[in-house]
Chain A
Amino acid sequence: MPAAGTPSPPALFRRWLLRRPGRPETAPIELRSRRIYVLPTAGGLSFAIAMLAMLVASINYGLSLGYGLVFALAGAALASIVHAWRNLAGLRIRPGRSEAVFAGETATLHFIIDNPRKARRPALRLKLRGAETAFELGPLQTRAIGIACAAEHRGRLQAGRTVIETRWPLGLIRAWSVFVADVGCVVHPAPEKNAPPLPESPAEQGGGAPSPKAGDDDFAGLRPHQRADSPRHIAWKVLARGGPLMTKQFAGQQGQELSLAWADLPPGLDAERRLSRLSAWLLEAERSGRPWSLALPGTNVPRGNGRSHLLRCLDELAYHEEPDRADGT
C-alpha cells in the first residue's frame, strides 16, 4: 500500500466505512480473548423481551416459581455469552494456498484454522466480501476452510477483513472476531471470447510460404491435466482405460515463435480489452505448444514455453498497471 503521509480523520473514517482491507497480520493469527466481541442477535433480543414479559407476569400474579423460571432461563442465557466467546477463543488462523482464477470466475480462498483445544468447536462461520461458509472443527483439528467469492476484476484478490463468528450454543448471542489474513489469489484477465487467431510473426508472413499450423499435429507425449487445458486435448482414451486425466502435448516446430505484444494490437482497443485478448492468445499459444514472448508497456517476458511460462505471463497481465502488486506473490 502506498502510504502517503498520515491520512486525515475523514479519510480514516471512510476507509473504515468502506472496509478497506488493512495490512495483513502475521500468521498465525491467534484469536485472543480481547479481540472477540459478543452482542445479542435478533433472536437474543426477542428472548430478552419474552423474559421481561414473563417477569412482569410473575410479579403481577405473585408467582414465586415464575421468578425462578425466568431467572433460571436468564442465567442460562448469560452463561451462553461466555460459551459463545469461548467457542472462538484460542483459534489459530493461517493463510492457505488459493488457486489463480480468471476474472468473472469464482475464486476459492483458503484459510487454515487450527483448534488447539481438546473439544469440538461447533457452528463456526467465516464471512468475507459478502460470501460466507459454515464449518466446524473437531477436537485438536486443523482444517483448510475454503470460501468461494466472486473474482470480478483482474489483479490481486485479497481476502481483506474477514469475520469469523459463531451463534452457538443457543443462537441468542453472536460472538465474532475480525482479522485480516494474508489470503488472496491472482485474478487473471478474462480471456476474450471468440478472440481473433494468433498473430503470425511479421518475418514469417513476409516469407510468403505459409507455415503449417504447427503445434497441433505432432503428438509429443502426455502430461497431467491442468485446469486451463483445452478439453480438446484431453487424452480421452487414457481416461476411458481408467487412467488419470491427462493432456496430450503436441510439439510445435522450432522457429515458429510467437511474439505477443501490446503495441501490435489495433489502436482502437482499450487497455482491458487488450489484456483480455492477450490472455486469450496466451492460452491459445500454450495449447498450440509454440513458444512465445510477451511485450507489455514497461515489461517484457522473454521467449518461453510451458505451464509456468504461461502463468508468469498471465500474472503480468493481471498486474499490469495495478498498484496492488506490492501485496501479491
Chain B
Amino acid sequence: MIGGWLKQRATRRRSASAGSALGRRQGAWLLGAAALTMAPHASWLPPWISGLCAALLAWRGLLLWHGRQAPSPWLLLALTAAAAAGVRAEFGHFFGKDPGVALLALLLGLKLLEIRAARDVRAAVMLCFFLQLAIFFEDQSFPVAALALCASLLGLAALVAQADPNGRSGEHLRVAGTLMAQGLPFMLILFVLFPRIDGPLWGLPADAFSARTGLSESMSPGSISALSQSGEIAFRASFAGEIPARRQRYWRGPVLTRFDGRNWQAEPAQEAAVPFHAADGKRIDYTLTLEAHGKRWLLALDFPGATGAALRHTGDFQLLAPRPVRSRVRHELSAHPEAVVGLAETAATLAAARRLPAGFNPRTQALAARLAAGAESHEQILQRAVSHLRNAGLLYTLRPPLLGRDSVDEFLFDSRRGFCEHFASAFTVLMRAAGVPARVVTGYQGGEINPVDGNLVVRQLDAHAWSEVWLGGRGWVRVDPTYLAAPRRIDDGLAAALPAGEALPFTLRAQHDWLRNMRLRWEALSNTWNQRVLGYNPERQRELLSRLGLAPGDAWRLAGMLAAATGVPFLCLILWAGRRRRRSDPLDRAWQALSTKLAARGLARQPWEGPHDYTQRVASAIPELAAAVRAIGVDYASLRYGPHSDSARLAALRKKIDVLRLP
C-alpha cells in the first residue's frame, strides 16, 4: 500500500518536474547552507545525531558530485523510521525542544537526499531557516548570529539558484546579498517596533532551559570549587559612580542555615516588597545584568536598598526576582554597604542559626568549648576564633583532599587544606558550637573591571562562600574566614590567592596577558551586543516608544507607525526599481521632443519613419510649418548620419525644436 503510494508519488513528481531535479549549483548552495546551519548544533546535539547528519550531507555531496540523483524512496523511508526511533530512544519522547531540534536536523539531512522537485528545494531551505532559529535556543552570541546570517544568505542563494538555474553562481550569491541588504531596513524597523510580548505564550517544555552553571540552594564540600573552573560570566554590573573596592563587593546569593553534618541547606525565608532592614548609610547605585541561571536570586550587592520594580526582599536580605530568571535580565539596583541588618532577628531564626547535628565533629566542639570558656561576650569568642584560625596554618587551594564523616574536624586539624566552602563551613560550625548564631552565605565575591568599557564582570569562578554571625546590638556581621588564610583571594582575586601550579581557566593565567586583553575587549563587545540587541525586551521597547511619544498600550498608533515605517523603505525600493535611465543621447532626446510636440496633432513619428519621410509628412499636413520642420529634419539627419557633430549645432537644433509653435 505504502509502496504503491510511494511509486505514485515518485512518478507524479517525476512528471511534474522533468529535468528540474537538483542541479549542481543549487545543490552546492543548499549543501553549504545546510552545513553552516548544522555546524553550531554539533556542539549540543547527541554525537550520533551530528554524525548521522554529517554522513547524510556527505552522501548528498557525493551524489551531487557524480551527477547522480536521489536514492530510492524505500531506503529513505527506512532511514527516516530508524532516525525517529533513535531520537525516541535518546530522549524518551518526541515533545520538547531538544528532540524537536534533533528531529529537524535529521529531517534536513534526509530531505536533502530526497530532493526531486523545486518545492523540495524550498522545503529544505525552510528547514535550514528553522534550524538557524533553533541555534539561538542555545547560543545568541555575536559570532553565532553572524554564522546564522551567513547560513541564511546561502539559503536564499539556493532559492535564487532554483529560480534561475542558468545564472552563474556568483550572480546567485550577489542577488541573495542584494535582497538581504534591501531587507535590512525592514528588519531594523520591525525589530524595534514590532510589539514585544512578555513571557511565554504557553507553558514551555521542561527542557526549555537546560542545566546552567551557578549556585544552588545547598552547599557541600567541593560544590563551589567546581564552579571555580568556569570562566563563564554570571552577571555584569555597571556603577553610576565609583566602583566599590574589591573587598566590599560581596554579591549575596542563597543563605544557608540548615546543616546536617555534611551539607548546608537554605531555609525558606519570608518575602516582602520592601527590605527587612533599614536601608541607610552610603548608597551605591548600579545596573545589574544577570545571565539566565534558572533560579530566582538576583545576587544583589550587600545590602540591597528598596527597588521600584516588582522585586522581592527576603528575611535573610537577598533580592529575588518574581519568577526564575530564564533569560538575561537587567535591573537598576542600589546597595547600602554600611547598613546594619538583623538587629531585631526572631528567636526562631537565631535558634536555627545555633543548631548543630549531634555527634559530628567532636574535636571542633572541644575547640569551641575552649574558645568560649571565660568569654564575656560573643564578640570576644569571635575574636578568639578569628585569631585561632589565622594561626592554624590553613592553606587555600582549589584541590582540597576528600573529607570523611567529620568534615570540619578533618579540615581544621588534619588536612588543613580547603576552598572557601571549607573555610565558611568550618568557621560557622565552630561559632555555632561556641553558642554564637552563625550561618553560611553563598554568592560571588569580587569580579573584574573591564577597562574597555568600565563594567564589572563577575564570573562563575568568583563564586564564594562566607559566614555571618549574629551579635547582639550589631545584628548580622559578615566574617569571611577565607580572608584569614588567603587575604589575597579577597584583595586580588582567585588567581592571585592560589599557590602556583593550580589549575585555573586558561585565560586567567598570568602569563597570557595579551590573551587576557583580547578577552576583555571581546567581552566588552559582547556586553554591548547583549545590552543593545539581546536585551531589547518589552520593557526597553516601552521606554523607547514613550520617548518617541507613544503611550504604552496605544496599539493602534503603534500599528500605524509600524505600517508607515515599513512603507517608507518599500517605497524607496519601488522608486529604485522603477527609475529609468534617461536616454543617454541628447540628440535622440531632442528628436523625440519634436515628435512629442507634434503628437498633439496626431503627427507622432512612426517607428519606421526616417527624418526625411517624417518631416515630409508633417510639412504636407501643416504647410505653415513646412520650411521649419524640413530644416529640422535636415539638421537632424546631418547630425545623426553626417561625419561631424558638435554641441553648438545640437544646441541650435534643440532651440529650433523648442521655438516651434503649432499654429
Q: Are A82 and B183 in contact (CB under 8 A)?
A: no
CA distance A60 to B164 in the complex (A): 37
CA distance A195 to B183 in the complex (A): 68
Given contacts A76-B183, A169-B160, A170-B163, contact A63 B133 (CB under 8 A): yes
> Closest CB of chain A to B579's CB: distance in Å?
10
B180 at interface (Cβ–Cβ under 8 A)?
Answer: yes
Report which of A59, A62, A78 forms a contact with B327, defined as CB distance below 8 A. Answer: A62
Q: Are B179 and A63 in contact (CB under 8 A)?
A: no
Report which of A47, A62, A67, A78 forms a contact with B191, defined as CB distance below 8 A. Answer: A67
Given contacts A64-B533, A64-B534, A89-B578, contact A47 B133 (CB under 8 A): no
Q: Are B186 and A71 in contact (CB under 8 A)?
A: yes
> Closest CB of chain B to A73's CB: distance in Å?
6
Report which of B129, B208, B537 forms a contact with A69, defined as CB distance below 8 A. Answer: B129
B59 at interface (Cβ–Cβ under 8 A)?
Answer: no
Q: Are B162 and A89 in contact (CB under 8 A)?
A: no
> Closest CB of chain A to B157's CB: distance in Å?
10
Report the tally of A-B residue pairs with Cβ distances under 8 A.
Answer: 162
What DSSP secondary structure best describes chain A's contact surface?
helix
List A contacts of B204 (CB < 8 A): 60-61
CA distance A167 to B118 in the complex (A): 12
List B contacts of A59 (CB < 8 A): 197, 201
B5 at interface (Cβ–Cβ under 8 A)?
Answer: no
> Which residues, 317 to 351 on B, are CB-close (under 8 Å) to A?
326-327
> Closest CB of chain A to B595's CB: distance in Å?
15
B148 at interface (Cβ–Cβ under 8 A)?
Answer: yes
Q: Are B577 and A86 in contact (CB under 8 A)?
A: yes
> Closest CB of chain B to A10's CB: distance in Å?
37
List A contacts of B326 (CB < 8 A): 62
Chain B's closest residue to A59 (CB) is: B197
> Closest CB of chain B to A55's CB: distance in Å?
9
> Which residues, 56 to 88 on A, are CB-close (under 8 Å) to B?
56-80, 82-83, 85-86
> Closest CB of chain A to B350's CB: distance in Å?
42
**Size category, A interface:** 35 or more
Q: Are A69 and B577 in contact (CB under 8 A)?
A: no
Chain A's closest residue to B126 (CB) is: A50
Given contacts A62-B327, A83-B577, contact A78 B534 (CB under 8 A): no
A163 at interface (Cβ–Cβ under 8 A)?
Answer: no
Q: Are B156 and A76 in contact (CB under 8 A)?
A: yes
B522 at interface (Cβ–Cβ under 8 A)?
Answer: no
> Closest CB of chain B to A58's CB: distance in Å?
7
Report which of B130, B137, B164, B537 forms a contact with A169, defined as CB distance below 8 A. Answer: B164
Chain B's closest residue to A58 (CB) is: B133
CA distance A66 to B536 in the complex (A): 12
CA distance A69 to B130 in the complex (A): 10
Question: Residues of B within 8 Å of A, CB-based: how many?
Answer: 61
B175 at interface (Cβ–Cβ under 8 A)?
Answer: yes
Q: Are B164 and A66 in contact (CB under 8 A)?
A: no
CB-defined interface of B187-228 with A at 8 Å, one 1/0 digit per residue?
Answer: 100110010110111101000100000000000000000000
> Closest CB of chain B to A4's CB: distance in Å?
29
CB-defined interface of B246-282 with A at 8 Å, one 1/0 digit per residue?
Answer: 0000000000000000000000000000000000000
A200 at interface (Cβ–Cβ under 8 A)?
Answer: no
Chain A's closest residue to B583 (CB) is: A116
Given contacts A46-B122, A46-B126, A89-B578, contact A60 B166 (CB under 8 A): no
> Closest CB of chain B to A61's CB: distance in Å?
7
B600 at interface (Cβ–Cβ under 8 A)?
Answer: no
A168 at interface (Cβ–Cβ under 8 A)?
Answer: yes
Q: Are A167 and B163 in contact (CB under 8 A)?
A: yes
> Closest CB of chain A to B27's CB: distance in Å?
16
A214 at interface (Cβ–Cβ under 8 A)?
Answer: no
B574 at interface (Cβ–Cβ under 8 A)?
Answer: yes
List B contacts of A76 (CB < 8 A): 156, 176, 179-180, 182-183
Given contacts A50-B129, A171-B122, contact A72 B180 (CB under 8 A): yes
Q: Are A56 and B201 in contact (CB under 8 A)?
A: yes
Q: Are A33 and B148 in contact (CB under 8 A)?
A: no
CB-defined interface of B147-187 with A at 8 Å, one 1/0 digit per residue?
Answer: 01100100010011011101100010001101110111111
Given contacts A71-B190, A171-B118, contact A63 B182 (CB under 8 A): no
Given contacts A69-B148, A71-B187, contact A170 B156 (CB under 8 A): yes
Given contacts A50-B130, A65-B533, A171-B163, contact A78 B175 (CB under 8 A): no
List A contacts of B570 (CB < 8 A): 78, 82
List A contacts of B118 (CB < 8 A): 43, 171
B76 at interface (Cβ–Cβ under 8 A)?
Answer: no
List B contacts of A64 (CB < 8 A): 140, 533-537
List B contacts of A60 (CB < 8 A): 200-202, 204
> Closest CB of chain B to A168's CB: distance in Å?
5
List A contacts of B178 (CB < 8 A): 79, 83
List B contacts of A53 (CB < 8 A): 130
Q: Are B179 and A170 in contact (CB under 8 A)?
A: yes
A122 at interface (Cβ–Cβ under 8 A)?
Answer: yes
Given contacts A61-B137, A171-B118, A171-B159, contact A78 B186 (CB under 8 A): yes
Known pairs A64-B140, A65-B140, A82-B573; list 10 more (Cβ under 8 Å): A46-B122, A63-B136, A65-B145, A71-B187, A71-B191, A74-B186, A75-B182, A76-B176, A83-B175, A169-B164
List 28 contacting pairs A-B, 8 Å CB cutoff, sorted by A: A57-B133, A59-B197, A62-B199, A63-B140, A64-B534, A65-B145, A65-B148, A66-B133, A66-B136, A67-B194, A68-B145, A68-B191, A69-B136, A71-B186, A72-B187, A75-B190, A76-B176, A76-B179, A76-B183, A78-B183, A82-B573, A83-B577, A167-B163, A169-B164, A169-B179, A170-B163, A171-B122, A171-B162
- Nearest first, the 5 A-B pairs at minimum CB distance are A75-B183, A75-B186, A79-B182, A76-B183, A86-B577
